[in-house]
Amino acid sequence: MTELTHMTIAEALKGLENKDFTSVELTQAHIGAIENTRHLNVFVTETPELALKQAAESDKRRTAGDAGLLDGIPLAIKDLFCTKDVQTTAGSHILEGFVPTYESTVTTNLFRDGAVMLGKTNLDEFAMGSSNTTSFFGNVINPWKNQSNPDADLVPGGSSGGSSAAVAARIALGATGTDTGGSIRQPAAFTGTVGVKPTYGRCSRWGTVAFASSLDQAGAFARTVEDSALLLQSMSGHDPMDSTSADKNVPDWASTLQGDIKGMKIGIPKEYRMDGMPDEIEQLWQKGIEWMKDAGAEIIDVSLPHTKYALPAYYIIAPAEASTNLSRYDGVRYGLRVEGENLRDTYESTRAEGFGDEVKRRIMIGTYVLSAGYYDAYYMKAQKVRRLILQDFEKAYEQCDALLTPTAPSAAFAIGEKEDDQIKMYLNDIFTVPANLAGLPGLSVPAGLDKDGLPLGLQILGKAWDEETIFRVGNKIEQAANFTAIPEMVMQKAA
């Protein structure tokens, strides 16, 4: 039998069903693995007692023949989802000690289906970042190492870096994430895991700490495309508590992803061929194109002419919305309070101490682009660009069913490497941000290793509400790539 922490979710569900092991055993194995990997700093809060209690309840349900879609499966939850009676920090000092009295809809859905929560994973502060280096609770370390420089600790991607590292390090079978500009797909690519961001409106945002409301979407990390589909199925669904949540039927994606892609048209956007992109990424992309042809798909060249404006538009719209969303942290209602001489002083002192540099930078940019006099020049302009980006996709999808691109322009880099240059850091999202601006679904699948032994991902982008196609295409990439590598650190543990 595969070691309990090395299973896929689908395998673990079978094992539970066959009574090969119980959820309590499965959960205990993961709690043990978490204790052995604390140096990765994956969790802000571990919840082993809660996990064991949920696992015991799951075992009872299964015995009673009453098991749900994910019954007994231990998961890691990004610390951006509010969890009732469990501290929720968003990676920020300002929310340290905040214990919600309510549960986010996404976690409610997972618990309805029997999932077990191992803990709350570390992230960039308020999900702002691409490297998990802006968290108040410290950097997360990627379990993968660069073979040319094995002493350097690498970033796990961001902002959902704790979640991606948890799945890669085999300390959770799956994890939740959120993706505002790439925070699921990019960390998935950096850690050799699968990451899915659904269509905007597929998952409820209720109870998820808001960063940029028109871009934020919850999604999942897993070790296979099938597992990611199972997780997303559970997380999705209409929720009257979120007016942007869509009243759409949630398909059983796991049951259709094996279907063939013969005759499907896969678009290759020429604007994603970037100057300075490592050859290996270009080569992997070519390989992906060949895999698609081998599976019977037709490759079509398409153009997304406004791609080059996506990052500038994103870095106006996201900070604008963030500056508004983050105005609620005033030292009165949540978490940290730094008492001042008067109310205004309390607000200012709390915010000065509670927010980190990146969050302050975004609040300042956001307030600037929304201020009278600059609103039309920046914010309105960015919204118009956003519409053009959506129209680019709509045009491309008249010719094809899905798009294939690299997920990120580099493999995982060393902690501190891009810290001195924010623009370099922002460039990491170049291939992921357009889908958020257009509200479209995207999936990153591990597709190979670079010369330093680091994972690289390919991204599949789909039409709105057509997650079915991206899972199906992703499944073909997964089969062809046959990515079985696991981090050295994990292999040593298993030996």
Q: List residues with catalytic annotation.
A: 78, 159, 183
Residues 6+ apart with CB under 8 A from 391: none
> In whole angstroms, how close is the CB of 432 to ligand GLN at the nearest point?
7
Classify the C-alpha dihedral 45-444-465-174 as positive or negative.
negative
Nearer to ligand GLN, 322 or 489 (CB): 322
Nearer to ligand GLN, 181 or 457 (CB): 181
The 8 Å CB, 24+ separation contacts for 94-100 are 94/329, 94/334, 94/335, 94/336, 94/350, 94/351, 94/354, 94/355, 95/209, 95/329, 95/334, 95/335, 95/336, 96/136, 96/335, 96/336, 97/335, 97/336, 98/334, 98/335, 100/207
Q: Which of 301, 304, 261, 320 is nearest to 440 (CA)?
A: 304
Count the Cβ atoms, other than its own, within 10 Å of residue 138.
12
- Between CA 270 and CA 251 the distance in angstroms is 32
Interface residues with ligand GLN (CB under 6 A)? 127-130, 159, 179-183, 211, 318, 429
> In whole angstroms, how close is the CB of 411 to ligand GLN at the nearest point?
16
Q: By the 8 A CB rule, do 159 and 136 touch? A: no
> In whole angstroms, how close is the CB of 183 to ligand GLN at the nearest point?
3
Letter for the amino acid at 71?
D
Q: Following CA atoms 278, 284, 286, 289 in sequence, which dihedral angle do they give, to the nearest 10 degrees?
A: -140
> In whole angstroms, how close is the CB of 306 to ligand GLN at the nearest point?
19
Q: Are strands 174-179 and 217-222 parallel, antiparallel or unpaired?
A: antiparallel
Strand partners, 177: 219
> In whole angstroms, how close is the CB of 444 to ligand GLN at the nearest point?
13
> In whole angstroms, how close is the CB of 159 to ligand GLN at the nearest point?
4
Could you write out the three-class secondary structure of 332-395? CCCCCCCCCCCHHHHHHHHHHHHCCHHHHHHHHHHHHHHCCCCHHHHHHHHHHHHHHHHHHHHH
Q: Which of 308, 291, 90 is nearest to 178 (CA)?
A: 90
Q: Following CA atoms 180, 186, 188, 194 in sequence, which dihedral angle do they give, to the nearest 10 degrees?
A: 80
Q: Which of 77, 318, 75 is nearest to 177 (CA)?
A: 77
Count the Cβ atoms, other than its own, within 10 Å of residue 234.
24
Q: Are strands 265-269 and 402-406 parallel, antiparallel or unpaired?
A: parallel
- Between CA 309 and CA 434 the distance in angstroms is 9
Nearer to ligand GLN, 5 or 432 (CB): 432
Nearer to ligand GLN, 184 or 481 (CB): 184
* Cα 5 from chain centroid (whole Å): 21
- Between CA 426 and CA 182 the distance in angstroms is 11
Bond before 349 cis per omega within 30 degrees: no
- Between CA 106 and CA 167 the distance in angstroms is 19
